[in-house]
Amino acid sequence: MAMFGEPSSLPAGNEIGSPLEALDDLGRPVNFGWARGPLWHYDSSLLRASPRRFNAQDRYFIQSPGFFIVMQIIDGGALGYAGVTLVSLAEKKRSSQTLMIPLSLGAMGLPDSGDAGRARIWKGGYLVEFTAMEGGTRIIRVDIPKFEKRRYLRGELVLTPPPGGESLVTHLPWRTDRGAFALTRRSPWYAVEGIIQFGSQEIVFPQGKSFALYEWSRGVRPRANVYQWAGAAGIPDNRPGGPALAFTVGYGGADSLAGTENAFFSDGRLHKLGQVTFHLSPANGMSPWRFTSSDERLEMTFAPLEERSERKSWFFHSLQRRQFFGFFAGRVVLDGGEAVEFQGLPGMAERGRTVR
């Protein structure tokens, strides 16, 4: 089994507790660290890097009993796209469709804040829309008349945050590129309610059994990056009626000394973790995965059930990504010392490589 991630322990990093600027007046990234909420003010008009290297993305990973849906709007500078993937675990089928926008160059209108505004792609009858409402609720709309050139896909989902929900927000520089940085927010605890119509099939997202992870990221990317990430949300099989659990763990080319991108959540409260190592087989991603943390607070396995590969390229930009859907089980120690065991927590993991 190969190991991915830094094996050494890292300090707690620089926790930010009050609002700060993400960029100085010259557009340079400043004030690196991590926070339990969106404390950085980000103004994309200050960026001075080549628009080809701009990166803005809004991604949602949504699960209901038996289904996963990935919805994303990404402006990668050289290449933008909006995509929807539907995975049925019962039928062991996956359907996907992507709308490509070459040379988006930061002009797709994704908002500079994750708490306000709307990310929207509406072109040729293809609609994907994410709206942040006052009070923290989010509305997702999708309307694709010929999804994979066959059946239509349309519907609306309402995402509701838990009271006092905390997010893991990191603002990190790149090890190999002083001008590159990633300001990222991950909120993996939304309760979901709604219906998606897929041809004659009605996919219901019942309240209390459907959850979503929201990922918002802005920044300037390096020439190349290899990363791995995993996340999940829901009520574990062995804890019916208990609090919702969620997590986000990952590692890439960003410098984690200011704060790792790893945390567990119990009913929306964040419990910060050290560096997490991914133990997996590079040749067979469908074999079981294992995760451990440098602070010895996390021991976790992942059983993949479905895989989706994604490749996109446009001249000097390329993306390769493998996404795996399945269930997590393991043990995590929360901040107060409580050890929580969980089984059957639905989620996904991915490995990716980008070149710009």
pLDDT tens string 21-77: 999 999 999 999 999 999 999 999 999 999 989 999 999 999 999 999 999 999 988
* Per-residue model confidence (pLDDT) at position 11: 45
**Residues 82 and 57 sit within 8 Å (Cβ to Cβ):** no
What digits encode the pLDDT tens for the residues 243-255?
Answer: 899 999 998 888 8
Q: Distance (Å, rounded) from C-alpha 248 to C-alpha 254?
A: 16
Strands 93-102 and 151-160: unpaired
* Per-residue model confidence (pLDDT) at position 311: 78
**How far, rounded to the nearest angstrom, does the alpha carbon of residue 37 sit from its chain's CA centroid?**
15
* Per-residue model confidence (pLDDT) at position 112: 97
* Per-residue model confidence (pLDDT) at position 230: 97
List alpha helices for the chain, DSSP H: none
Can you read off the two tokens belonging to residue 350?
């991915």
Q: Which residue has the tokens 């050290």?
A: 274
Can you read off the two tokens belonging to residue 154?
């349309």
* Per-residue model confidence (pLDDT) at position 10: 45
Can you read off the two tokens belonging to residue 324?
């795996």
CA-CA distances (angstroms) from residue 41 to 22, 182, 192, 193, 242? 6, 13, 28, 31, 36
DSSP notation for 274-320: --EEEEE-SS-TTSPEEEEETTS-EEEEEEEEEEEEEEEEETTEEEE
- pTM for the whole structure: 0.93
DSSP single-letter state for residue 254: B
Closest CA to 254 of 82, 39, 33, 2: 33
* Per-residue model confidence (pLDDT) at position 282: 74
- The residues spanned by each domain of the chain are 2-355
Mean pLDDT per segment of 10 residues, for the chain of length 356 residues?
48 86 96 97 95 94 94 92 92 89 91 95 92 96 90 96 96 89 96 95 94 97 88 92 92 88 96 94 85 96 91 70 94 96 95 78
CA-CA distances (angstroms) from residue 73 to 24, 83, 345? 27, 7, 26
